[in-house]
């Protein structure tokens, strides 16, 4: 099976930093859980970029 590489707009880095700051302001350590789930979602997307189901909890879905 072919593996794909996910690329993102450079502005994503700023958005992720904003998310980290926000989550840490709400609860210490919460951003670590978010980034763990984010990396898991990226791996799923790399493995199958043509999936059509919604990922759990974060409501990520293909456009």
Residue 36, token pair as written in the block: 């763990």
Burial of 31 (0-12, 13-18, 19+ CB in 10 A): buried
| % helix, strand, coil for the chain, step of 5 | 55, 0, 45
What pTM was computed for the model? 0.68
Instruction: Classify residue 16: in a domain, yes or no.
Output: yes
* Residue 36 domain boundaries: 11-47
Residue 32 lies in a domain: yes
- Does some domain include residue 28? yes
Cβ contacts of residue 54 below 8 Å, gap of 6+? 60, 61
pLDDT, tens digit only, all 63 positions of the chain = 677 888 889 999 999 999 999 999 999 999 999 999 999 989 988 888 877 655 555 555 555
Q: Is residue 61 part of a domain?
A: no
Name the domain count of the chain: 1
Domain assignment present for 36: yes
> Could you tell me if residue 56 is inside a domain?
no
């Amino acid at each position: 099976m072919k593996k794909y590489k996910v690329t993102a707009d450079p502005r994503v880095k700023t958005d992720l930093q904003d998310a980290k700051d926000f989550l840490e302001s709400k609860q210490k350590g919460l951003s670590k859980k978010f980034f763990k789930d984010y990396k898991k979602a990226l791996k799923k997307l790399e493995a199958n970029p043509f999936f059509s189901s919604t990922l759990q909890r974060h409501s990520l879905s293909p456009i």
